[in-house]
């Protein structure tokens, strides 16, 4: 594919994809000032993409450019034309070249990925000019083919023209070797045009760049980031006045994160520690080897040779020694047994959104290391446990629905019954959780005549659905809210025995058993890690429930009666290890609910088939604590333990062989809110 502009322009515009198997060439201004222009969504070239500006320009603009082999921009070979590329992403398998003679070669991109080699040459007078400039600007430049252990080179050659190389992040891919070489050392300065904001070295990579200006040590990087372990830096590591950031992987173990073959100069720089999404399980006393070098120069430390012994600032039981404790608190100097003056420093780092570590920085055997001297949970982690409050509330909704159904009207022929309940509640848990709940039961049951009374038995399926919001306020953090959904399915059995009595009344007993699984999720936009990930998780846990009650129904008049009852309701939800979207693992312990309810209900028939009723009850939760741990640290425990008052009004009607009961309940206390339920029976 060739676009050649001689006197006029040559233009190609494609909305989606331009695919060329081999040799895509744009030639601007062969005879005059005509331009060759391509605009596309994606350009894909198997081999050889060339933009050549002679008297006119060669321009390409695309969302994505992919060249498997050889991408070349040539500016002003026989004139002042420019070769210009602008794209969100440029991916080159092998060899990307920008060459300027009289005209310019310019690239502007979000991300450039070059697996092999990149060459920039400015102001070359060998081919028709000498003042041409090369400009490359990108947010990210990724070099090296990950895990292929290839060598990738960036070669910057400055002749007479300007060389502008401005990259925010230079990224050396995993297990690759990368090297930068420069011909024309005067260009190594931000003001002269060559500038990297951050050098990012991925796990197992080696960087072989050595930078000198007028025989003085100099680095074009403002900061360094070590992504993982086993990174090598050839020559002297010039980190003086720079920020050095380590992203610690889960498998760091005793491995060294950064090995420098020469000297590590860290004077006046900051050292920061962060964690990968898959983070290590650290405890107080664990250490991480950050830098190993021939000599390490660091503020207020002496330059220590590799075998030089240094005083360790911990006792045998992994607690801080007195000297280290004083240093940790006051920043005072303490000395090793050879009399070298040292200053220990602490680094504070957060794993995800949960654990805050305090590391003590020290030298040991010529290596720069950090040791965990303190770790604590961030208070906002309590919000994770409150999702379990919503899950318990959802299961209890189903247990209450079966316990309150009052199945009394079954016949010996059997009935299908359905029960629905929905409402909104606020659970006081030390903060509060607002829950919208819906539960449904469908089943079949029948009545049996026995010598001691009437026995009713039923089996049912149940489902619970809901959504919730958690609300917390923490000192120094502010408001933290979260939200999620609940969904559960299960089944159970119901039985009731109405004992034979007298005209004054009779005793009865009820019981239910439940088994099922509850699914619930949690997310919070107020809990975000350093990578910008919102904290969230989901869980699916088995649950079991039991209910038993005893009561007495007494006669007030021919059309009125009272019902005095006591209930015990038990629920158990199994614990589980859940993983946050930010990487931390939360160990949720088993959770249970143990409630007793004592109440009185008054009912009056207003017709032969219709009755109205009103009741009140007192409920007390004895359990309801949610226990969890992160990294062996106890999460603050929300609890449902406490009292709730219940008021109920309802109406029931029986017609033909059908029965319907509608009730509204209000709650105040540990649980506050309102719910409504409807119960239906239908005979075959």
pLDDT at residue 119, rounded to an integer: 85
Instruction: Work out the number of other CB atoms within 10 angstroms of the CB of residue 655.
Output: 9
pLDDT at residue 125, rounded to an integer: 56
Cβ atoms of 456 and 415 closer than 8 Å = no
Euclidean distance between CA atoms 597 and 669, whole angstroms: 14
- The tens digit of pLDDT for each residue in 2-42 reads 555 444 445 565 555 677 777 877 766 555 566 777 888 88
- Give 3: exposed, middle or buried? Use CB within 10 Å, 0-12, 13-18, 19+: buried
Ranges 217-231, 292-306, 621-635: which has the least confidence: 292-306
If pLDDT is split at 50, 70 and 90, which confidence band does 342 have?
A: very low
Strands 505-528 and 534-557, sheet pairing: antiparallel
pLDDT at residue 556, rounded to an integer: 94
* Contacts of 212 by beta carbon, 8 Å cutoff, 6+ apart: 185, 188, 218
pLDDT at residue 130, rounded to an integer: 64
If pLDDT is split at 50, 70 and 90, which confidence band does 127 have?
A: low
Ranges 133-147, 419-433, 514-528: which has the least confidence: 133-147
pLDDT at residue 621, rounded to an integer: 96
The DSSP bridge partners found for residue 202 are 227
Euclidean distance between CA atoms 518 and 387, whole angstroms: 12
Euclidean distance between CA atoms 610 and 513, whole angstroms: 30
Euclidean distance between CA atoms 673 and 434, whole angstroms: 9
Tokens describing residue 280: 């290590």
Tokens describing residue 450: 């026995």
Question: What mean pLDDT is reported for the chain?
Answer: 82
pLDDT at residue 384, rounded to an integer: 94
pLDDT at residue 332, rounded to an integer: 36
Q: What is the chain's Cα-based Rg?
A: 37
- Give 608: exposed, middle or buried? Use CB within 10 Å, 0-12, 13-18, 19+: exposed
pLDDT at residue 276, rounded to an integer: 80
Spell 74-95 as b/e; 16+ CB within 10 A means b: bbbbbbbbbbbbbbebbbbbbb
- The tens digit of pLDDT for each residue in 539-557 reads 999 999 999 999 999 999 9
| pTM exceeding 0.95 | no
If pLDDT is split at 50, 70 and 90, which confidence band does 159 have?
A: confident
Tokens describing residue 434: 């607002």
Q: Does residue 220 or residue 469 have the better pLDDT?
A: 469
If pLDDT is split at 50, 70 and 90, which confidence band does 78 have?
A: low
If pLDDT is split at 50, 70 and 90, which confidence band does 325 have?
A: very low
Instruction: Tell me 239's DSSP state.
Output: -
- Give 317: exposed, middle or buried? Use CB within 10 Å, 0-12, 13-18, 19+: exposed
If pLDDT is split at 50, 70 and 90, which confidence band does 320 have?
A: very low
The mean pLDDT value for 631-641 works out to 92
Q: Is the model's pLDDT at 392 over the cut of 90?
A: yes
Helix, coil or strand: residue 396: helix
If pLDDT is split at 50, 70 and 90, which confidence band does 60 have?
A: confident
If pLDDT is split at 50, 70 and 90, which confidence band does 316 have?
A: very low
What is the sign of the dihedral through the CA atoms of 131, 137, 142 and 145? negative
Q: Does residue 194 or residue 44 have the better pLDDT?
A: 44
* Contacts of 588 by beta carbon, 8 Å cutoff, 6+ apart: 385, 388, 539, 541, 575, 576, 577, 578, 626, 627, 628
* Contacts of 301 by beta carbon, 8 Å cutoff, 6+ apart: 342, 343, 363
Q: Does residue 470 or residue 320 have the better pLDDT?
A: 470
What is the sign of the dihedral through the CA atoms of 303, 309, 315 and 316? positive
Helix, coil or strand: residue 383: helix
Q: Is the model's pLDDT at 501 over the cut of 60?
A: yes
Q: Is the model's pLDDT at 518 over the cut of 80?
A: yes
Euclidean distance between CA atoms 599 and 442, whole angstroms: 26
Euclidean distance between CA atoms 275 and 226, whole angstroms: 11
Q: Is the model's pLDDT at 203 over the cut of 80?
A: yes
The mean pLDDT value for 615-633 works out to 94
Tokens describing residue 343: 């200053």
């Amino acid at each position: 594919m060739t676009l050649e502009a001689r006197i006029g322009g040559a233009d190609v515009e494609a909305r989606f994809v331009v695919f060329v198997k081999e040799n895509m060439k744009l030639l601007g201004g062969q005879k005059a000032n005509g331009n060759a222009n391509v605009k596309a969504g994606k350009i894909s070239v198997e081999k050889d993409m060339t933009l050549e500006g002679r008297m006119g320009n060669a321009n390409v603009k695309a969302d994505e450019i992919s060249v498997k082999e050889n991408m070349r921009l040539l500016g002003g070979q026989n004139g002042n034309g420019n070769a210009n590329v602008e794209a969100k992403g440029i991916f080159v398998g092998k060899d990307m070249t920008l060459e300027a003679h009289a005209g310019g070669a310019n690239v502007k991109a979000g991300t450039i990925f070059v697996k092999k080699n990149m060459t920039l040459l400015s102001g070359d007078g060998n081919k028709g000019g000498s003042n041409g400039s090369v400009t490359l600007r990108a947010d990210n430049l990724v070099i090296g083919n990950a895990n292929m252990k290839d060598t990738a080179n960036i070669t910057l050659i400055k002749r007479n023209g300007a060389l502008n190389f401005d990259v925010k992040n230079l990224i050396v891919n995993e297990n690759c070797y990368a090297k930068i070489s420069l011909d024309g050392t005067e260009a190594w300065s931000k003001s002269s045009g060559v500038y990297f904001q951050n050098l990012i070295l991925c796990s197992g990579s080696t960087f072989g760049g050595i930078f000198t200006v007028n025989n003085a040590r100099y680095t074009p990087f403002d900061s360094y980031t070590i992504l993982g372990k086993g990174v090598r830096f050839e020559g002297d590591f010039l980190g003086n006045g720079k920020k050095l950031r380590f992203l610690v992987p889960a498998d760091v173990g005793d491995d060294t994160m950064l090995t420098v073959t020469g000297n590590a100069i860290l004077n006046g720089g900051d050292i920061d520690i962060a964690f990968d999404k898959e983070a290590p399980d650290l405890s107080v006393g664990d250490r991480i080897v950050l830098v190993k070098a021939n000599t390490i120069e660091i503020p207020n430390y002496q330059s220590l040779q590799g075998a030089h012994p240094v005083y360790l600032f911990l006792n045998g039981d992994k607690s801080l020694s007195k000297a280290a404790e004083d240093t940790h608190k006051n920043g005072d100097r303490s000395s090793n047994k050879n009399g070298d003056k040292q200053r220990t420093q602490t680094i504070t780092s957060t794993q995800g959104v949960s654990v805050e570590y305090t590391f003590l920085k020290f030298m040991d055997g010529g290596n720069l290391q950090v040791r965990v001297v303190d770790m604590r949970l961030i208070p906002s982690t309590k919000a994770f446990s409150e999702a379990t409050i919503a899950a318990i509330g959802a299961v209890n909704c189903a247990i209450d629905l079966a316990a309150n159904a009052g199945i009394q009207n079954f016949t010996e022929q059997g009935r299908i019954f359905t029960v629905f309940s929905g409402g909104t509640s606020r659970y006081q848990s030390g903060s509060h959780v607002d829950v919208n709940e819906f539960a449904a039961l469908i089943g079949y049951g029948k009545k049996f005549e026995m010598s001691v009374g009437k026995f009713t038995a039923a089996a049912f399926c149940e489902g619970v659905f809901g959504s919730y919001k958690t609300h917390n306020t923490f000192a120094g953090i502010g408001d933290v809210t979260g939200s999620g959904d609940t969904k559960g399915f299960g089944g159970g059995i119901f039985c009731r025995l109405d004992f034979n009595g007298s005209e004054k009344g009779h005793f009865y007993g009820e019981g239910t058993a439940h088994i099922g699984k509850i699914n619930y999720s949690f997310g919070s936009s107020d809990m975000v890690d350093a990578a910008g990930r919102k904290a969230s998780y989901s869980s699916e846990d088995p649950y079991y429930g039991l209910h038993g009650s005893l009561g007495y129904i007494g006669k007030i008049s021919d059309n009125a009666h009272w019902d005095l009852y006591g209930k015990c309701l038990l629920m158990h939800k199994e614990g589980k290890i859940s993983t946050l979207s930010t990487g931390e693992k939360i160990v949720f312990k088993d959770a249970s609910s143990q409630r007793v309810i004592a109440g009185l209900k008054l009912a009056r028939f207003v017709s032969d088939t219709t009755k109205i009723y009103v009741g009140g009850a007192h409920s007390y939760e004895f359990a309801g604590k949610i226990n969890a741990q992160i990294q062996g640290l106890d999460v603050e425990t929300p609890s449902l333990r406490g009292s709730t008052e219940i008021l109920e009004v309802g109406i029931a009607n029986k017609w033909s062989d059908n029965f319907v009961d509608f009730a509204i309940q209000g709650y105040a206390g540990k649980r506050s809110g309102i719910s409504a339920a409807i119960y239906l029976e239908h005979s075959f």
